[in-house]
Structure 1
């Protein structure tokens, strides 16, 4: 009886210990899974926020030059000189209507220096701007004081929201004198808000005072994510930015149910806010915890079964006293070992097959990561490319209008010159688009002779917008014609674009000289291309980890830490190397960083295969 009682206590203790281990594994799995899913969700949300921000900035950039072009029209200057002339007013109204129609704007209008509207595209419509005074609007005072005014708000006359852009008009005969008027346009952002509503995200656009003015949830419009200060509320009332909206805060329990991710955008202090529900991550982590607990219980059950089986087998072996029993036991053991070897051979074959599958998946994953890196670089260059295309598009509009007028006047020689300029601008736009299409192509991994000179030229064209935005000079030393590497043109271009982008970002942090130097040199077997910047250099603690995936020294929202890792993988694939070091002006003082790409020369490969 005492033995049975002791065994019962022992089994109970073992059961309690097993349950405790399963609970501990479940808790550990829940914590780690929740942390992992939160990191993954944050990365995904950051990418989507960047996409929304770039889309908005691209749309706003389309309207940036329109008021400046409109301000050059002599008909507006004549009306400002003679504000009471009905003929001049009619001509100005007609011109502004044409601007509004061709550019698909909500309105275009002209104000004098006191803010009184003299002409407008809607002069013949109910709610016309003509005769209205908008001196209290910030875009009017900013245009007079700073040369340009930007503002988003609800129209005081129409009650419809829009994005306002304005510039001053100066007398051509006295260009240095004070402005004689202001021309403004009102652009609709309804298509952007529709895109947000169809995105599937809970995403809103807020101003610097946390007031929601666009978003995928119409009921949140003109509500605030945080209480407004008395000063901010008074300013909004004075400018009537959002009309008579009460600007109440969202219900407290609304924000408590979500995690808010912000991303700055535009030049007016706006922010993209994406709201995600943390409950989904907790549910997924709970499922992972249940799986871990079940796996732990199964492991303990298998261990107990093996232990019981071993105990019973040992008892049977001890019961065999005769030689016949020992012989049967030996045969049994031989059969078991044979089965184990057969199973081991089968397992080995499956592992070899799984290893081949894993290698194929690794290769496909690497190619996908390289293509994703190119698309991410294109996303970062989108604003610059848009700017490069926007200028020729604007010029094309002006030249097309001139061509129509020249045909009417029968000025054939000037018309021919005008058409030549249109053809040149179209060719320029075609080159820009061709560069982007070639860069985005998902090419096959085949090594071939690649001209380093041509690859550097293509890469410089792709980073041109980013270089101009940061006011950085790129100096390329003469590249020898025989600098031919054995690689892939598109993937080599991806590496160069990434290194040039990083160098431009580093130079942007410099307060004096902003210069990137690109040089190429050759040895008997390799081609070496170096990218040296005048930035602050690389911190000593960052150098050993520079090529680790997801390690970045850039601020949040400006990089995922994959660019250098992908670039190193591409160069390694070609049998080359990618290294980084600091440039020291004097011992202990950094004066920039240099990245060196070393590739095999095409002539070396040709000689080895003949």
Structure 2
């Protein structure tokens, strides 16, 4: 049945593949045609979008130009009327009448200094008819104008000739750019000198900072005098003629500052927009290439041209984004049409192949059902085997814990024998004394000897009881355990070993200690393991001290066992709880004590960690969860 289904399916697949090859050839033709349409449409959309976004950039540039022009005109007009007023002030007139009088010079200097501070001007100074500066607001500064001759400046000659002068230039003394206003000082029709007021233009530049535009101010020769970009100052937007060079040298407009050509290429778009393409890498402190759309306005009164340079990169990026979106939309539409056509073709092929697939599927379902039944049977056997392994593993773990306890008892057998021999010897001595005293009829002393015999018997019984409890196999049920009793039992069990090595054990238990969730016998085993390990650590040390503390912390009880041994080296600290890992010599243990301790504490939902000891050696911290105060768990 399966063979017939496969043969039928192969025939149907061959027919479908032939149909797909025909569709693929037609698809390639439509793909090439679609790419041509997308390329042509994208070019048209990009050209139109570029025009639109450049027009928007030009509108923003015109708005910025209006604001900048208005602000600059207002700033200049604010100071333009001040020089004629200053020329009529009495300190200036007095100095003009007697320019060599020291008292009048001093009075004029102080007057100009005070007025400069009030008006917010950069400098104000008075020149005689020869252009020699007689008084200045900066008379007491290192670069004072006093003594300088500025007759070569147009603001001086224009003020003398026409009654008012203005000029923008780089100061030859202060080395600061400024705009100068000049007004004549007269006594009737007699010219006595010129008052000049200089304003700082750098504050104007500070207001021109923009994210995507620059503002420049050029003189009639195309030299950039003001610019929001410091790299363009004193740059020339066009070559300087010999006549312009002579004029600059005569007026010393830019002092001795070198001028340089700004590497730009100008072009005009079909909409009449002027574009500058500037190679920024040729300018000091700049890099890259920039294209700017220009919006300019003439300022005839100041003889300036203010230009806003709008960066075209955002506009071109917007145009490119819009074009990409349009092309993507066209591509998506084309893809949707292609997908619809392809889905229809695939649906036809699918209907043809479904009949053959049904035949093949029925045959394969029967085969898979048999295979799944076999796999299910194998999985069931594996699950049973794993459960048996888990039971054996748990039994082996319990046996390992019991073996470790018996090994610990074996190690302490010699010390325990010595511990029991002492009470037995004392019993014999007290018994002999009691017989002797009884024959002498000394009843009181005989009673004392008998009481001591009873004490020795109780002591031997207590040791045997602790060992019996410690050696028996514990249950797994957890309950509320008194930590104080567990510590006392552990002291008695580990006491012989501690006395054998001569160790001093200090126990510090906080009063009212909470009960913990644990098993009493297994908790005793944990404490005995930690105490015997501490005894082994201090056995060969001059100072043999062990400290056991118990404290309540939050909802837990924290036990710490510390010793004055050599401690645990950092390179083996991470392996200290691994099974069969031991730092002791051969024959001194299997390396299971701390591993078993770790697993017991884990069964208690607690934690054990190696911590720095306060006695100079190792320290082990056991954290057990507090339990409600109830009857002690029986194990």
Shorter chain as denominator, the TM-score bin is 0.3 to 0.5
TM-score of the aligned structures, taking structure 1 as reference length: 0.47
TM-score (norm 2): 0.45
